[in-house]
A and B are shown apart, each in its own frame.
Chain A
Amino acid sequence: MSDKKKKKLPPQAQEYQSFQQDREVKRPIFKNCIKAFLVGGTICLIGQCITTFYIYFFDFTEQTAGNPTVATLIFITMLLTGFGVYDHIGQFAGAGTAVPVTGFGNAVISSAIEHRTEGFILGVGGSMLKLAGPVIVYGVFSAFIVALIKTILIQWGGL
């Protein structure tokens, strides 16, 4: 809780806040980072294997093979999410499973499955992107700003 919010609270609540902060379990940052590194690295290694597979057996170059790799990984995520395995890996690995595209896929697929009881149009269709929406929205917006600045610099700045 920030200091500004703290000042507004009555003294007893402030006391409680500091009491609670002392007893809060410290997050084992170093251990979590090791786990995230190992699991995240393994997912990327699997991705690299798939990329190599697409380069050798289909007509993809190293630049374009990223796209089918991402699609394949999201397909694997669908199976893992559906059978309930992904949650267990996610519990263990934290950001190791959230940061690769599999985390993005899991966010979309798990909310699609979760909301199917509300019907396919409003439930699945409406809630699917609830968690992944911000990523798309701000990804697109920031990409727009970056590309706009770069285009203006190239066209009028003679970069």
Chain B
Amino acid sequence: MIFLWSFIIGGLICVIGQIMFDAFKLSPAHTLTTLVVIGAVLDGIGLYEPLIDFAGAGATVPITSFGNSLVHGAMEEAEKHGLIGVVTGMFEVTSSGISAAIIFGVIGALLFRPKG
């Protein structure tokens, strides 16, 4: 069942992005930035975690989960160390996405040549 919901929820988040592309004529960078901020706010008010439980990868794969995990890492550290933790814990959970992108980016640049 979670496979079906991940397909539907993930697809719907992409449709929101497509509407921002087409109807509001935003550039991809603007759209992605807005979605990340939305993800952060949703986690702040405690709505993103239930969505992950409900839709699995449908909620963790879209870029909105990026904002969610940034807030999550910050909050986890903030519980231990107070306000300082907000700064120090920020990348605790998100690190996999950013580090994977950077690592595979460099490997990709080593392996492949630009086309055209």
Smallest beta-carbon distance B59→chain A, Å: 8
Question: B44 near A: Cβ within 8 Å?
Answer: yes
Q: How many residues of A contact B (CB 8 A)?
A: 80
Q: A62-B56, A142-B40 are in contact. Are A131 and B90 (CB under 8 A)?
A: no
Smallest beta-carbon distance B29→chain A, Å: 5
Residue in B11, B90, B115 whose beta carbon sits within 8 Å of that of A144 in the complex: B90
Residue in A41, A63, A83, A120 whose beta carbon sits within 8 Å of that of B11 in the complex: A41
Q: Please, which residues of chain B bring their CB within 8 A of the CB of A66? A: 52, 57, 60, 65, 69
Q: Please, which residues of chain B bring their CB within 8 A of the CB of A94? A: 18, 21-22
Q: How many residues of B contact A (CB 8 A)?
A: 77
Smallest beta-carbon distance B106→chain A, Å: 6
Main secondary structure, interface of B, reads: helix
Smallest beta-carbon distance B66→chain A, Å: 5
Q: A41-B8, A44-B6, A100-B10 are in contact. Are A27 and B61 (CB under 8 A)?
A: no
Residue in B8, B33, B100 whose beta carbon sits within 8 Å of that of A105 in the complex: B100
The answer on a CB contact under 8 Å between B3 and A99 is: no
Question: A151 near B: Cβ within 8 Å?
Answer: yes
Q: Please, which residues of chain B bring their CB within 8 A of the CB of A151? A: 75, 78, 82-83, 85-86
Q: Which of B47-104 contact A (CB under 8 A)?
A: 52-53, 55-58, 60-63, 65-67, 69-71, 74-75, 78, 82-83, 85-87, 90, 93, 96-102, 104
Smallest beta-carbon distance B6→chain A, Å: 4
The answer on a CB contact under 8 Å between A37 and B109 is: no
The answer on a CB contact under 8 Å between A109 and B19 is: no
The answer on a CB contact under 8 Å between A139 and B66 is: yes
Q: Please, which residues of chain A bring their CB within 8 A of the CB of B14? A: 36-37, 39-41, 95-96, 99-100
Q: Please, which residues of chain B bring their CB within 8 A of the CB of A74? A: 97, 100-101, 104
Q: A40-B15, A45-B3, A104-B101 are in contact. Are A114 and B31 (CB under 8 A)?
A: no
Give A residues with C-beta under 8 Å from B.
27, 29, 32-33, 35-45, 47-51, 62-63, 66-71, 73-75, 77-78, 81-84, 94-96, 98-105, 108-109, 111-117, 120, 124, 128, 131-132, 134-136, 138-140, 142-144, 146-152, 154-155
Which 3 interchain pairs have the tightest Cβ spacing?
A44-B10, A40-B14, A41-B11
